[in-house]
Structure formats: structure tokens, C-alpha cells
Amino acid sequence: MARLHLPSHIIPLHRLWLFPLIAGTSWFLTLAALLLTWIGRGCPRYPGQKNPYVAFISDIAAFQLKPLFLLGGTTTALFFIATLLAVHFARYDPRMYGIDDAAWKMRASVLAMCSGVVAGLGLVLLAVLDTFRFHEEHAVLLLVCCGGLVVSMVGTTVVYWEQAWGASPFRGLRVYCIASALTVFLDFGLGVSFYTLMQLYYWKASGILEWVMAFTGAIYLWAFVGFVSVPEEGIDEAERRALLRGVAR
């Protein structure tokens, strides 16, 4: 399979870390604005709200600060897609990590990238088709978005697994890989707990878990800053270009 290369003539390699930083910050601020607005207005219950105690994100976004959620969700989605593409291209680009992978891992990278694009576009449509006015469409899009996100997260974790738990020359990358993997496991546990508690009608606990899970997503995005930062190993100071000559086996 042909090697993947980052178009550094369009996007400088030293600026790729801005993608996950903007994605994570945009998501965190959007969630914080929704939650603080709901609390500040006395925790109102919205028409069609299923949880009687804690409003879900989609409930608040459908009635309060919808333009903000649309802007924040779109920004997060677009920069998430850019982040995911950069993360997987950086793994194989010789100017970054230049890792010589097995063919199945490269196919897993492509699957993770495609799933990430689906998840990102799903998030944009979720913001447009809110749960109150387009309830059925919103439910389908939520399933599509979550499904794409799960496949993307699992695929990326599998592809970078050896960097987290094996011997790696990229010390900085290893730290961020471990942080990312732990966040994925945490989100999986939160997701299972959230769904189980919701099915058992533990509304307050499930509502809180949804918000915790969503904020954890911001941490997951921020962890990618270390994935796409040019590694210190192999920087050509004379030409100020990242030319990693060694290949991680």
C-alpha cells in the first residue's frame, strides 16, 4: 500500500496541533455554555424532554443557544475531521513518524478516517436537525454519529496501540497515546453505564453521565495535540523542517 503524505505545502507540519486544540476547546466551551445556561435559568424542563431531572444536551440545544450549538458543533466537527486525518497521515509520513506498518493497520487507518468523517458530518446535521422539531431524524443521526465515532476511536486506538504499550523511540507520542487509550476506555465505560442506567430509568444518574461523557470527549480531542506535534527526534534545525529519518519498528 502506498505511503500517505501530509500536504505540508498547504498545512505546515508545525501547525497541525492547532486542529485538535481548536476541536477540543470548541466542544468544551459549547458544552459549558449550554450547561451553565440551563443551570442559570433554574434548570427548566423543555417540551419533549425525556429525563425529568437532568436535561440532555440535545434538549438544551433545541431551545436555548441553538445558534451557538450549531456554530460550536460545526467547528468541532470540521476540526475533528481535520485532526483525525492529520493523526493517521502523521503516522506514515516520513517527515513525522514514518512508521512502516502492516497492510491491515493501514486499512484500519483508512477505516478510522472514513468513520471519523461520518461522525463529524453527523454532528453537523445533529445541530441542524434538533431533537424537538426533527425528533426521528435526530435519533437516526445520533446513532450514525455515535457509531462512526466508536469505530473511529477504536480504530485509531488499535493503530497506535504499540506506541502506547510497546517500546517506542517517540517518548512524547507514547505519553499522549496512553492518555488517549485511557480516555477511550473511560468513555466506553461511561457509555455502557449511561445506557444501562437510562434503560433502568435512573434518570438523574444517566443525565449526569451523559454530560461527563461529553466533556470527556474534549479531553480525548486534546490528547491528539501530542499525536500531530512534530517529534523532537529528527527535527532538522538548519532547515527548520521535520525530517524524521528513523523508522519505528
Mean pLDDT score, 181-210: 95
Please list, in sequence order, all residues whose beta carbon lies within 8 angstroms of the beta carbon of residue 101, skipping any fewer than 6 positions away. Answer: 91, 92, 109, 159
* pLDDT at res. 7: 64
Q: How confident is the model at residue 54 (pLDDT cuts 50, 70, 90)?
A: very high
pLDDT single digits (tens) 76-131: 999 999 999 999 999 988 888 888 888 999 999 999 999 999 999 999 999 898 88
| Greater model confidence, 16 or 166 | 16
Q: What domains sit in the chain, N to C, each tagged with a CATH number?
A: 14-40+50-239 (1.20.1070)
- In Å, what is the CA distance from 233 to each residue of 18, 237, 247? 20, 11, 11
Mean pLDDT score, 198-214: 95
Q: How confident is the model at residue 165 (pLDDT cuts 50, 70, 90)?
A: confident
**Does the pLDDT of residue 25 top 90, yes or no?**
yes
Distance of CA 231 to the CA centre of its chain: 22
Q: Is the pTM of this model over 0.85?
A: yes
* pLDDT at res. 88: 94
The H-assigned helical ranges of the chain are 18-40, 57-63, 66-92, 103-128, 135-159, 161-165, 171-199, 203-223
